[in-house]
Structure 1
């Protein structure tokens, strides 16, 4: 065990639901937009309509978004972007959606035009919740069917209803005190790097999910040193694993397993991904981020 990284997402009773975060006044449809700067200006204008930001000018919101973009574009592949920033002095999150029907250049990963912008203005003191919301939205937008439905929506209300209908409203889930333990092993190989990121997205988006990542060694590192088995491996062969251990509420187990199975099915012919689930009979305490 070499390095231990810890991420914790602990439920708080005052956390807003997606339904409260996403107000219709912060949603708009444009046929076309000139450029990236114009997109950020429109987003700042939409965000400023929310009373939570009444003390902030559109220009200040725009500059916060622009500062975040300078760290790296929030434009992804497949016509989507998730512009976001954190601001001092606000108490809750603001979500909004801008749809640009003809698309606009937004420095996307695939170099194609971006059409859907789901934006977040977050309290700077709520980093953990900010991360969880980002991952929830990212998971939602991975589904092409969800993207298509947003593009077909013809009004702000329709966009909001479409988004909320397919976004898990975790506050309405029945409270359960039953948890299960997931362990996901990812062999440290370049071809699995993207899948490791997808696995992190899965657990990051789960409410009340404690998880940590441990770097471990392949058994081959030790078997290689035994004369009986040394012929099967060479000394420079990659020998590291990353083990994700997550405590997941029972109500999320089936959905989590389904998502992990989809990743594994992409790699049926290449071993290197494995997970299992165990019952937890006793659980106490929590972890800090």
Structure 2
């Protein structure tokens, strides 16, 4: 799997000005819509919120990995958001998040693409150095390089 098919600079926002989880999800979803990767913003947002209601995607250490498998998703995508302030996310460590890695997966790829990306990300987010590199990134290119290395090695 090539990183370029999943994410590009237009799907990365390093200065999200949001105060709630829903605002973050909404702003990141608008990036998907701008690139015509989803059919419906409202259906996608609802899918992410429904998933959050089942179990929080607040990973801990300031990270969240919200995701949605849905028929409204046209193209499997990774959307990155870094907030300008801390967002309450009901995280596993009870701490707010500032770095969001949102996954949009077509329903037909739910058991393959979704699981591969989620496993690769959650495993790598256990690595202090990787998390620190993501948090310190100030350019979209830096994020793309880190994810390219991760996705390429985990899905090939």
TM-score by length of 2: 0.87
Residue 47, structure 1, aligned to residue 23, structure 2: no
> Could you say what the CA RMSD is over the residues aligned between the two structures, in angstroms?
2.0
How far apart in 1 are the matches of 2:63 and 2:75?
24
Inter-CA distance 89–41: structure 2 relative to 1 (3 Å threshold): closer
Inter-CA distance 26–85: structure 2 relative to 1 (3 Å threshold): same
Task: Please say if residues 101 and 151 of structure 1, whose CA atoms lie closer than 8 Å, have aligned partners that are also in contact.
Answer: no
Inter-CA distance 135–168: structure 2 relative to 1 (3 Å threshold): same
1:86 is matched with which residue?
Answer: 69
1:171-186 correspondence to structure 2 within 5 Å: none
Task: Please say if residues 73 and 104 of structure 2, whose CA atoms lie closer than 8 Å, have aligned partners that are also in contact.
Answer: no
1:56-95 correspondence to structure 2 within 5 Å: 56-88=39-71, 90-95=73-78
Task: Please say if residues 32 and 103 of structure 1, whose CA atoms lie closer than 8 Å, have aligned partners that are also in contact.
Answer: no
Residue 140, structure 1, aligned to residue 124, structure 2: yes
Task: Give 3-state SS (helix, strand or coil) of 2:92's partner.
Answer: coil
- Greater relative CO (CA pairs within 8 A, separation 6+): 2
- Which structure has the highest helix share of the two? 2
Inter-CA distance 147–66: structure 2 relative to 1 (3 Å threshold): same
Task: Give 3-state SS (helix, strand or coil) of 1:29's partner.
Answer: strand
How many residues are matched?
A: 155
Inter-CA distance 91–137: structure 2 relative to 1 (3 Å threshold): same
Task: Please say if residues 68 and 104 of structure 2, whose CA atoms lie closer than 8 Å, have aligned partners that are also in contact.
Answer: yes
Task: Please say if residues 31 and 101 of structure 1, whose CA atoms lie closer than 8 Å, have aligned partners that are also in contact.
Answer: yes
How far apart in 2 are the matches of 1:162 and 1:136?
12
How far apart in 2 are the matches of 1:151 and 1:59?
29
1:155 is matched with which residue?
Answer: 139
Task: Please say if residues 28 and 155 of structure 1, whose CA atoms lie closer than 8 Å, have aligned partners that are also in contact.
Answer: no
* Structure 1 residue 69: Cα displacement: 1.0
Selected match of 2:80 from 97, 107, 114: 97
Task: Please say if residues 21 and 89 of structure 2, whose CA atoms lie closer than 8 Å, have aligned partners that are also in contact.
Answer: yes
Task: Please say if residues 117 and 151 of structure 2, whose CA atoms lie closer than 8 Å, have aligned partners that are also in contact.
Answer: no
TM-score by length of 1: 0.49
Residue 24, structure 1, aligned to residue 9, structure 2: yes
How far apart in 2 are the matches of 1:132 and 1:168?
9
1:189 is matched with which residue?
Answer: none
1:105-144 correspondence to structure 2 within 5 Å: 105-129=88-112, 130-144=114-128
How far apart in 1 are the matches of 2:18 and 2:2?
30
